[in-house]
Amino acid sequence: MTLRTLAHLSDLHLGRSPASDAEVARAVDSLDGVDHVIVSGDVTHRGRTDEHARFERLFAPLAARGRLTVVPGNHDRLGDDVGARLRRGARVQTVTTPGLFVVRVDSTGAHNRFLLAGHGDLCDAIFDDIDCAVAEAPPAHLVVVTMHHHLLPLPEETFPELLATRVGLPYATELRLGAALLSRLRGRCDLVLHGHRHVPRATRLFVGDARPLGLYNAGCTPSLGRFRVFAHAAGRLLGAPGWLVARDHVARVATARQLTGTEDR
């Protein structure tokens, strides 16, 4: 039984500041021993071409080895709208690597061209496509669905989010029918990984089932200076994820014992 690892990063916001970009570079330097990496959106801060080019340079070694899966976020739709470069083709696509099956979903919409319209946009037709994609998962593979926006309600984190909620704008709301999508994934999926909110959170759903569903918000990777790493083998998670801290000139992945023995907090 081969043990494999999966890292989850999000909300890189490249171009926000030199210090923040340096934190992203440190995180990338810490990914050498990870089998696959998911980046769940807001790769850029203002959706500019130069910010996207910076992302491509930093993550080029991972992409060249087929170890990178990325989806766009609402910030990627600003400015030059680099969302199309981050997601070429259908809004629902699949990626298969040894021991891992990823369904990548573009949860952004045309309204995300405006900064204060950052909410996600999925419909029943997209949910049907996700259903069909999950059904294609091969045996003995960890099944992961990733998108940028959150599927369940989360607390507002900033004053603009709080104000938007108070006046009835959807800026900070969860995906419409997000809870229904999670119900569709019950018993067929192991992880749903997203970003958008900058405070990391973790929820285990359907815990009484033989195959519970883990719902994880990565938070803002450069602000946190750390990211989660999941260990899996033969299509099953091995314990709770561990946190890998990105440090200067340190490229070390937690051992399997650390990963399987560390509680998520």
pLDDT digits (tens, 9 = 90+) for 104-147: 999 999 999 998 899 999 999 999 999 999 999 999 999 999 99
Please measure the distance between the N-terminal and C-terminal CA atoms of the chain and give it in whole angstroms.
28
Put residue 206 in one of left, alpha, beta given phi > 0 → left and psi -120 to 50 → alpha. Answer: left
Q: What band does 262 get if pLDDT is binned at 50, 70 and 90? A: very low
CATH of the domain at 109: 3.60.21.10
Task: Please provide the average confidence, as pLDDT, over all residues in the chain.
Answer: 92
CA distance 178 to 208: 21
Is residue 258 pLDDT above 80, yes or no? Answer: no
Domain count, the chain: 1
The pLDDT assigned to 1 comes to 80
Q: What band does 168 get if pLDDT is binned at 50, 70 and 90? A: confident
CA distance 140 to 126: 26
- C-alpha dihedral over 240, 246, 252, 253, to 10 degrees? 20
Tens of pLDDT, residues 66-94: 999 999 999 999 999 999 999 999 999 99
Place of tokens 């419409």: 176
pTM over 0.85: yes
3-state DSSP: the chain helix, strand, coil percent, rounded to 5?
A: 30, 25, 45
CA distance 73 to 47: 9
**Backbone phi, psi, residue 52, to 5°:** -65, -40
The pLDDT assigned to 160 comes to 84
What Rg do the C-alpha atoms of the chain give, in angstroms?
17
The pLDDT assigned to 257 comes to 40
CA distance 84 to 38: 17
Q: How many residues does the chain have?
A: 265
Residue 98's SS3 state is coil
The pLDDT assigned to 179 comes to 96
Q: Are 36 and 7 in contact (CB under 8 A)?
A: yes
CA distance 37 to 6: 6
Range of the domain at 66: 4-261
Is residue 255 pLDDT above 60, yes or no? Answer: no
